[in-house]
Amino acid sequence: MNGENFEAGERLVNAAYVRQGAQGRRAHELRLRTLLEQGKCPEDGWDESTIELFLHELAIMDSNNFLGNCGVGEREGRVASGLVARRHYRLIHGIGRSGDISAVQPKAAGSSLLNKLTNSIVLDIIRLAGVRTASSCFVVPMATGMSLTLCFLTLRHKRPEAKYIIWPRIDQKSCFKSMITAGFEPVVIENVLEGAELRTDLVAVETKIQDLGADNILCVHSTTSCFAPRVPDRLEELAEICMKHGIPHIVNNAYGVQSSKCMHLIQQGARRGRIDAFVQSLDKNFMVPVGGAVIAGFSDAFVQEISKMYPGRASASPSLDVLITLLSLGTSGYQQLLKERKEMFSYLSSELKKLAEAYNERLLETPHNPISLAMSLKKLDEQSGTAVTQLGSMLFTRQVSGARVVPLGSLQTVSGYAFRGFMSHTNSYHCAYLNAASAIGMSKQDVDVFLKRLDKCLKTLLKGKNHGKDTPIPNEEEIVSEMEKCNTNAAEGDAKN
């Protein structure tokens, strides 16, 4: 509806009523104009009606939604199912062109605008989260591992003689396979034990660079977010080493956007040394479906080179998902989620420590890890060789997802490379343990239910009642009853405070 249409409407409905409706429409349009002019995430989240209005406005700018459009090419935004079309808000053309994922499509101005705007808003959030000097980013419809591969392939053109990637060990398959898939040879740097923490061996990194020669090294591939007792790499020192030897530096920041500590490490690394790009997952940081990542950096030119390395057009779904989410939350809503995550980390840490002590175990001291916690499982390990892995099975069948149990001495081969002590980030950690993480979106109820179920499982295993038996999955009534009890206890606690 434009001014002429509203004026025409006054012939059918009382003019005062139409003008009031026009004012309501202008309120929505003012939000849209501010967004387009500033390219930043709004402070306050939008209501769904404004977001849907915006998406429909974008959709009708694409040629497949033109009235009377006649498409005679092989890709004309044709969709057989109306349900599929509505799922994508009729934004069918995707993003980018065959040579560049960030390029504008002549016949899809709306989808192109969505792409540019999403990248701008995500960059605003990355800066807000702590990497204030990040200059550019783009959303790519691939998860973190393949996005890292894209970065490595881009560096290949800059360093055609290089064949090694220096990689401080982290036992996570996708980041390891990202190097293999790109055609490079990972040089694994074992971590050093400092107290209970596993930290970057900077001396070993320097030694490997001297042994292999800087020109033969594609990059250093470091990590921020990780499972305890592994802690984020010493990013500042690694960045200085990369600057000193002229070696690129790619950071796997998979779920680090939600952590001010991880983002501060990246910011400081870029200030003191060299960080070429850092990659983060969309689903782990922004609570959207799996399938997207953000590649960001401090050089517009290099980030653009990475985007041009992506072959062909790409799905707009990840961009659409994160745009809707950030418009719904606004910066204030996202910052509130970050604040609540920190609070839940403190709560989970204190309560898990109490539970550990009740079983003569301990919460491993890993102060440099801001997201993940680890609780020792020495008693279980001493009792039975299978008790530790059985605990993991029992938690899973009791609908506890995300918890990891790490037994001693496991051996696993990944893409032809054998890792001793796999999952523990080192060849021989001193005890078996259980991981739990406080990630964005976690609630107090999640923590309480997890601790209650963990307590029950530990009691059962230590009494030997579950030895060799299958563990039943609790029925829906039991789950609801347990959650209601947790809510009641929480309410009583709040009342006392």
Radius of gyration of the chain (CA): 26
Amino acid residing at 69? N
Q: What is the pLDDT of residue 74?
A: 87
Task: State the Cα–Cα distance between residues 283 and 301, nearest whole angstrom.
Answer: 27
Predicted local confidence at residue 495, as pLDDT? 47
- Looking at residue 484, its pLDDT comes to 52
**Residues of the chain scoring pLDDT < 70:** 465-497
The pLDDT value recorded for residue 395 is 97
**Is there a contact between 189 and 166 (Cβ–Cβ < 8 Å)?**
yes
So what's the pLDDT on residue 466? 56
pLDDT of residue 471: 42
- Omega before residue 367 within 30° of 0, cis: no
- By residue count, the chain amounts to 497
Task: Tell me how far apart the alpha carbons of residues 462 and 36 are, in angstroms, rounded to a whole number.
Answer: 60
pLDDT of residue 2: 84
Enter the tokens of residue 126. 């990355």
Give the whole-angstrom CA distance, residue 202 versus residue 222: 12
The structure's pTM equals 0.91
CA nearest neighbour of 415 among 169, 148, 147, 185: 185
CA distance 169 to 425: 6
Measured CA to CA in angstroms, residue 455 lies from 104, 375, 395 at distances of 55, 13, 10
Q: What pLDDT was estimated at residue 10?
A: 83
